[in-house]
Copies of this chain bind each other. A is one copy, B any other.
């Protein structure tokens, strides 16, 4: 096959992923949706989730169209205005993935609960299928959109019979920007929604009124379940969509630069073709691995999930080895001297893959309730909430060390083996199996929802036991997924940073130059400011929710007493969380997008902007890890106590641990994960405006 043919096969991999997603979706919808009560509750959740998405997308649509138009106008000459089309396509693909993923996830939740009435394996299968639809929509639409645009542009921008790679690349970066915009608002908005609902439901329901979690009398309980979907399904999906697309585009930019530098031309030189082909093959490998995810009654669902992701990683590595050797036959110069070829690229991919797995395992170590760090926090809860908080903060801060060392090692290996291109390829290596990774991730909230529905529908303890089992596994996979999301965001941001520098043609970004140092300081400050805004946004949205729940308990007669005829007004709670989230996501979003633009045009040399990007990436990664792990460890320290240690539920230690868990909630579900987006988005904005600065 020549490279021309291969280029056409890449979008077909996307089509394959989407076909699989559709088939899985149809299969899920065919499953038993349970009794009437279950269906009613599930309908409430689905309506709430879709209503949130609609509202969010209406705001986003305006934003994206305006930005696309501005970028098209600013780049109008020479057909570069097509960048506006790329932005729209990126936003549309990411939005569509979120839309379909969420539709199916909100169908899978109730069917998982229903399946749990008969078998653990069947419940696992439904929940995992629900996650898989999200996963394969993301990679399918990502690669389909991107490769179609590539085919289009590389056919259009032809000069004297030869494709003008530079112009293709310049225009295609908009796709990443579109994806980032969706990701920003989906992560921030979804994070605010989910925590506002959670805090509202817990504080008034559990603490003040003393009714159990997921009790149908609690008006915020539907909003709480909606929140799991908009935060952990749609938010996480948009986050990984951005990383996935960002890593590919970073590789395209740096691959094209290396190829042109080596005098290669053509529609798709090897270094440009390779990331597209690897991403396509990653889909096929991920898809095949989904069939490994199955368990027996009494078996361990987490082994089933790990079998899927690990086998995907191993197979992908073997595939990468042969594909890279087949495609990359030349060698390219390294800036540090020497040259790199196929093997160098392979080692870079390996570095990325290993780093991804390692960071996941480290995250699991620091947050799992069966390991000493979280148990240490449980121990500190014995002396009160203050020591619980200090222990959690100290743990979160300490837990930055190992992941950072792993990241730096991966980056150094990748760079030494294949230059800047190697860093982008390492990010891609980490992300090539995103399909199954995200399937496992999104499985968590589906299982969580299933548990909620089972509780609200008064299904028996055996059913609840099965969903709890899945939910517990979901918590571990969520922790690993968070580590993976941060690690991939960091490598992607570094790849985009390198792409920015290459596009700007910057000789150096010298931190000893006070402009760069000033930028570095400003950049390092942004994750702090951004986290603070996200936390305060949760606080504000949660207050509105608390008031509403209190109002309903007071004004709806018989509600608290459990009167058959009294029904909570779930919709208003969903509405309040939606409004709060959408209103509160604007300011952080504006900050993230405006800072690189303002700094970029203030100092058009790119030096200050380079400093800002370096600062925001370095500090953003630390703050993301710190907050995610502290939050995860607090959560599991509480669970550890609830299992009966240190006095169990209701003890003083438990009360102290609940404080830690509440503090950890916005940390791990709102401000922490939003930083992944912040660092990628700012690099993307810089990359997109780079041609305008020169």
Contact = CB atoms under 8 A, between A and B. Distances in A.
Interface of A: 203, 380, 383-387, 389-391, 393-395, 397-398, 400-401, 404-405, 407-408, 411-412, 415, 420, 423, 494, 497-498, 501, 506, 508-512, 514-518, 520-525, 528-529, 531-533, 535-536, 539, 610-611, 614-615, 618-619, 621-622, 626, 658-659, 662-663, 666
A313 to B, nearest CB: 24
A387 B535 contact: no
A520 B494 CA distance: 12
B498 A512 contact: yes
A401 B622 contact: no
Contacts of A510: 508-511
Contact of A618 (B385, B512, B619): B619
Contact of A521 (B203, B394, B407, B501): B407
- Report copies per complex: 2
A383 B200 CA distance: 12
Contacts of A391: 539
Q: Which of A395, A405, A518, A662 has the most chain B CB atoms closer than 10 A to its own CB?
A: A518
A622 B520 CA distance: 12
A572 to B, nearest CB: 22
A659 B389 contact: yes
Given A518-B408, A614-B517, A622 B512 contact: no
A211 to B, nearest CB: 18
Contacts of A494: 517
A459 to B, nearest CB: 31
Contacts of A621: 521, 524
Given A384-B659, A532-B397, A514 B411 contact: yes
B521 A404 contact: yes
A531 B516 CA distance: 26
Contact of A535 (B390, B508, B521, B525): B390
B618 A520 contact: yes
A517 B511 CA distance: 10
Given A524-B524, A532-B395, A387 B539 contact: yes
Contacts of A536: 394, 398
A442 to B, nearest CB: 27
Contact of A663 (B203, B389, B400, B619): B389
